[in-house]
């Protein structure tokens, strides 16, 4: 059996090696390392793929989120509601801009921000909601957009884990994640569903004025060379990363399909196992792109299971072990433990198994047999 990786970047590279190597070499020969034609072409190709009017590439997914908030003109003291159960980057940029993060609980099945908890957290200072399409599953965008419309709030989608997922609205219409809210961010970190070979990120929006503002923000607040109209940042996707992404974008749907196929096999193996709850899937198949395959283990020692898997050469992860509202950097007197019942429970139960585009049946059989061996003891 091939060695099992949490994410098999090497195996995936082997399958696209020639195209990637040629593209990278072309960039080096052209010496257009920054803002080269590859960046512009990738931007257009991603706009087409997502069905969104504007893609603005930038340096990473954390910058992308920050720039979304800068572009919307959020000001110190404005409250921004986001999920307690997500990667810290989401709340970090809110705090960094001296906005006020308001963390709320998530749904026990999808792990995504709970629309009812959003409603309860709204105050006259609330300006924006940041749903995260966690582990690759679409947040409840029908409910979130409705709340935003009712209260005149911005919606900033953190799409770092959800790229390629398709949301189906209640009326049957569909849209890619990241093309639904006012603006969205994504990350091209190597292990993300569309990853480059270093750092990278992007911002999406259908709003022409906002896109114009953001194009200045990413480039030192410049709209005309050496005229700095607003305080900006320097956040660029480099041409070599764009070349890698151009080679991978045509495969993104196939990559996500491979992830779903692996998830289906995991699901099937765990179907009748009592102590394991497999990932809930809400609606259509393409609603979930399985950035992570995350189980909930009940009545079993999760950390001992992780150790058992590691001892058998199976990597696994706990995303995330501590609720954000309990992280030192983000504690706040306003938070009450009874408002975080779900997150407080999830951090004890979740475990993510290896998930990538190169998992084969032999590996999946081995992984599932080792999980079952432990949980049925």
Ligand X SMILES: *Cc1c(COP(=O)(O)O)cnc(C)c1O
Nearer of residues 201 and 354 to ligand X, judged by Cβ: 201
x/- contact string, 107-136, with ligand X (CB under 6 A)? -------------------------x----
Residue 160 within binding range of ligand X, rule CB under 6 A: yes
Which among 13-21, 57-65, 105-113, 353-361 is the span making contact with ligand X, rule CB under 6 A? 57-65
What does the alpha-carbon distance between residue 273 and residue 262 come to, in Å, rounded to a whole number? 18
With CB under 6 A as the contact rule, the residue among 82, 137, 187, 292 that binds ligand X is: 187
Dihedral sign computed on CA atoms, order 210, 213, 216, 220:
negative
- Which of 127, 192, 248, 370 is catalytic? The answer is 192
The single residue among 110, 137, 140, 161 that binds ligand X, judged by CB under 6 A, is: 161
Choosing from 189, 197, 223, 366, the residue that interacts with ligand X (CB under 6 A) is 189
Strand partners, 176: 166
Distance CA 284, CA 342 (A): 25
Active site residue 2: no
Q: What are phi and psi of 329, to 5 degrees?
A: -65, -20
CA 315 to chain centre: 21
- The partner residues of 57 in beta bridges, in order of sequence, read 202
3-state secondary structure of 329: helix
Q: Is 60 in the site for ligand X (CB under 6 A)?
A: yes
First-last CA distance in the chain: 25
Nearest distance from C-beta of residue 164 to ligand X, angstroms = 14
Residue number, 86 or 256, with CB nearest to ligand X: 86
276: part of which helix (H) or strand (E)?
Answer: strand 276-277
Interface residue with ligand X, options 23, 43, 82, 90 (CB under 6 A):
90
CB of 90 to ligand X, least distance (A): 5
Interaction of residue 92 with ligand X, rule CB under 6 A: no
Least gap, CB of 165 to ligand X (angstroms): 13
Among 36, 57, 61, 216, binds ligand X (CB under 6 A): 61
Q: Where are the alpha helices (DSSP H) in 105-163?
A: 115-121, 141-151
Asked if 90 and 112 count as a contact pair (C-beta separation under 8 A), the reply is no
Which of 12, 23, 43, 62 touches ligand X (CB under 6 A)? 62
Is residue 89 near ligand X by the rule CB under 6 A?
yes
- Identify whether the C-beta of residue 6 lies closer than 8 Å to the C-beta of residue 354: yes
Contact call for residue 101 and ligand X (CB under 6 A)? no
Q: Which is nearer to ligand X, 275 or 292 (CB)?
A: 292
Bridge partners (DSSP) of residue 350 are: 296
Q: Write down the least CB distance from residue 374 to ligand X, Å.
A: 28
How many Å apart are CA 209 and CA 183, to the nearest integer?
12
Contact status, residue 332 vs residue 79, Cβ threshold 8 Å:
no
- Find all residues with CB under 8 Å of 125, minimum gap 6, and list them: 77, 78, 79, 100
Q: Which is closer to ligand X, CB of 90 or CB of 206? A: 90
Q: Does residue 292 belong to the site contacting ligand X (CB under 6 A)? A: no
Of 14-22, 59-67, 97-105, 123-131, which segment contacts ligand X by CB under 6 A? 59-67
Residue 122 structure tokens: 């709204």
Kindly state whether residue 184 participates in binding ligand X, applying the rule CB under 6 A.
Answer: no
Q: Which is nearer to ligand X, 155 or 276 (CB)?
A: 155
Contact region with ligand X (CB under 6 A), list: 58-66, 94-102, 247-255, 261-269: 58-66
Q: What is the smallest separation between the CB atom of 358 and ligand X, expressed in angstroms? A: 20
Pairing of strands 183-187, 201-205: antiparallel
Distance between CA 34 and CA 24 in Å, rounded? 13
Which residues would be at the binding site for ligand X (CB under 6 A)? Answer: 60-62, 86-87, 89-90, 132, 158, 160-161, 187, 189, 199, 201
Task: Point out the residues that are catalytic.
Answer: 192
């Amino acid at each position: 059996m091939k060695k099992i990786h949490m994410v098999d970047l090497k195996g995936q590279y082997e399958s696209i090696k020639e195209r990637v190597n040629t593209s990278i070499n072309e960039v080096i020969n052209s010496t257009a390392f920054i803002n080269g034609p590859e960046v512009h072409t990738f931007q257009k190709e991603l706009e087409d793929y997502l069905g969104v009017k504007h893609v603005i590439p930038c340096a990473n997914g954390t910058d992308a989120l920050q720039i979304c908030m800068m572009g919307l003109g959020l000001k110190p003291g404005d409250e921004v509601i986001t999920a307690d159960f997500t990667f810290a980057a989401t709340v970090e940029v809110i705090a960094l801009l001296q906005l006020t993060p308001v963390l709320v609980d998530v749904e026990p099945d999808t792990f995504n921000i709970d629309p009812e908890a959003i409603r309860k957290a709204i105050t006259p200072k609330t300006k924006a909601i940041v749903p995260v399409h966690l582990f690759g599953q679409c947040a409840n965008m029908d409910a979130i957009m409705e709340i935003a419309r009712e209260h005149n709030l911005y919606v900033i989608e953190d799409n770092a884990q959800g790229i390629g997922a398709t949301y189906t609205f209640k009326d049957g219409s569909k849209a890619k994640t990241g093309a639904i809210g006012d603006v969205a961010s994504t990350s091209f970190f190597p292990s993300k569903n569309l990853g480059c070979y270093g750092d990278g990120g992007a911002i999406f929006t259908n709003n022409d004025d906002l896109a114009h503002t953001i194009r200045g923000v990413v480039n030192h607040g410049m709209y005309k060379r050496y005229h700095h109209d607003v305080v900006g940042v320097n956040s660029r996707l480099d041409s070599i990363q764009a070349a890698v992404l151009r080679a991978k974008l045509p495969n993104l749907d196939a990559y996500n399909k491979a992830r779903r196929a692996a998830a289906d096999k995991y699901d099937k193996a765990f179907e009748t196992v009592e102590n394991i709850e497999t990932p809930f899937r809400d609606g259509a198949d393409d609603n979930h792109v399985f950035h992570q395959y995350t189980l909930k283990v009940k009545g079993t020692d999760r950390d001992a299971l992780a150790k058992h898997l590691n001892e058998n050469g199976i990597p696994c992860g706990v995303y995330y072990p501590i609720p954000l509202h309990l992280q030192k950097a983000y504690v706040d007197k306003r938070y009450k433990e009874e408002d975080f019942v779900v997150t407080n429970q999830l951090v004890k139960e979740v475990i993510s198994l290896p998930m990538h585009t190169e998992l084969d049946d032999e590996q999946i059989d081995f992984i599932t047999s080792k999980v079952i061996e432990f949980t049925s003891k």
